[in-house]
């Protein structure tokens, strides 16, 4: 047990004798000393797959069933955690909330419900194949056990900020949505990989859905996070905070965005470590 030390001052505060005693936890110089050479990874064999809400889930059976078929096969070979996006229904509730003047934290709580609905639907579809809905706070330590037992764990992608969501830099839409939640969870469990399942090949120089000719856009197949941030693109295929997360990450070194809508077979390829979409990597 570390002894209690009484401060030699008028306050006479008691401290526990530790290296952090009396240190400021906002000092850059001190915080740099807390960096570890290697960080513990709780689930280093688990691959986090985030299924887009608007890009995949909202399209119904034609889009989802081929992906489900691949996931059923993939779970026999790989440890997987599925995370779900919100999609069009989340955008609808955001629109109503914005019209009513709701603050960002309230909008975050509203959007959370839609991502949760998608996780429930996916768990039902995969139930007979081992799909199991889990929460954020009570089952994450057991992910490897679930996978070893043949289960396919599924959870909502929205990070549990709720009322504590960060103020948006521009506008009022919550900046940390399901892409952010997938990255934060993958980073903090020390996941093997993070793969975003979208309806586009990957990252382009502009939104391909709005371009008159996709040939006029530049496809970016591989780019460092610093280079991508420096481009300052008006639109991105992942939420903007994800780039900051990757720049500061301790475990994840990259993520990949793939077109699972047109090429569900790319899921298996990405799990095998193949480059089939856009890879954004840490400098």
The pLDDT mean for the chain works out to 92
- Using the predicted structure, report yes or no on whether residue 2 has a pLDDT greater than 60: no
Q: CA 252, CA 280: separation in Å to the nearest integer?
A: 11
Is residue 143 domain-shared with residue 18, that is, in the same domain? no
Is residue 30 domain-shared with residue 47, that is, in the same domain? no
Q: For residue 194, what is the enclosing H or E element? A: strand 193-198
Residues 6 or more apart whose Cβ sits within 8 Å of residue 99 = none
- pLDDT for position 137: 79
Is residue 76 domain-shared with residue 162, that is, in the same domain? yes
Is residue 20 domain-shared with residue 119, that is, in the same domain? no
> What residue numbers bound the domain in which 273 lies?
42-281
Is residue 30 domain-shared with residue 152, that is, in the same domain? no
- pLDDT for position 25: 80
Statement: the pTM of the whole predicted model exceeds 0.75: yes
Is residue 2 domain-shared with residue 128, that is, in the same domain? no
- Using the predicted structure, report yes or no on whether residue 21 has a pLDDT greater than 60: yes
Is residue 11 domain-shared with residue 113, that is, in the same domain? no
- pLDDT for position 27: 85
Instruction: Please check whether residue 50 is in contact with residue 83, taking contact to mean a CB–CB distance below 8 angstroms.
Output: yes
Write the CATH number for 119: 3.40.1160.10
Segment 38-59 mean pLDDT: 96
Q: CA 180, CA 238: separation in Å to the nearest integer?
A: 8
- 3-state SS class at 132: strand
Is residue 101 domain-shared with residue 185, that is, in the same domain? yes
Among 134, 139, 128, which residue's Cα sits nearest to residue 83? 134
Is residue 68 domain-shared with residue 51, that is, in the same domain? yes
- Using the predicted structure, report yes or no on whether residue 207 has a pLDDT greater than 90: no
**Dihedral of alpha carbons 55, 138, 246, 181, sign:** positive
- Using the predicted structure, report yes or no on whether residue 7 has a pLDDT greater than 70: no
Is residue 153 domain-shared with residue 48, that is, in the same domain? yes
| Helix ranges (DSSP H) in 17-133 | 28-32, 61-74, 88-99, 104-125
How many domains does the chain contain in total? 2
Is residue 174 domain-shared with residue 130, that is, in the same domain? yes
- pLDDT for position 61: 96
Question: Each residue of 136-185: pLDDT tens digit?
Answer: 877 899 999 999 999 999 999 999 999 999 999 999 999 999 999 999 99
Residues 6 or more apart whose Cβ sits within 8 Å of residue 234 = 206
């Amino acid at each position: 047990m570390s002894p209690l030390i009484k401060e030699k001052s008028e306050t006479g505060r008691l401290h526990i004798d530790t290296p952090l005693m009396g240190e400021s936890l906002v000092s850059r110089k001190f915080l740099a000393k807390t960096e570890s050479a290697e960080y513990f990874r709780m689930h280093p064999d688990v691959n986090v797959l985030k299924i887009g809400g608007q890009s995949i889930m909202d399209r119904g059976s034609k889009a989802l069933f081929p992906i489900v078929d691949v996931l059923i096969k993939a779970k026999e070979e790989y440890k997987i955690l599925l995370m779900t996006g919100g999609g069009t229904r989340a955008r609808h509730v955001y629109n109503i909330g914005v019209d009513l003047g709701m603050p960002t934290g309230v909008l975050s709580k509203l959007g959370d419900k839609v991502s949760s609905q998608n996780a429930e639907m996916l768990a039902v579809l995969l139930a007979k194949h081992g799909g199991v809905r889990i929460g954020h706070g009570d089952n994450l330590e057991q992910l490897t056990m679930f996978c070893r037992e043949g289960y396919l764990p599924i959870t909502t992608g929205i990070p549990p900020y709720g009322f504590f969501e960060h103020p948006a830099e521009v506008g009022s839409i919550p900046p940390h949505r399901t892409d952010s939640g997938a990255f934060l969870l993958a980073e903090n469990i020390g996941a093997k990989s993070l793969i975003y399942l979208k309806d586009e090949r990957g990252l382009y120089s502009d939104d391909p859905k709005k371009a008159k000719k996709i040939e006029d856009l530049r496809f970016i197949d591989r780019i460092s996070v610093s280079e991508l941030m420096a481009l300052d693109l008006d639109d991105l295929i992942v939420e903007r905070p994800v780039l900051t997360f990757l720049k500061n990450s301790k475990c994840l070194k990259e993520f990949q965005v793939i077109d699972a809508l047109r090429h569900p077979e790319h899921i298996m390829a990405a799990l095998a470590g193949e480059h089939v979409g856009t890879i954004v990597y840490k400098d």
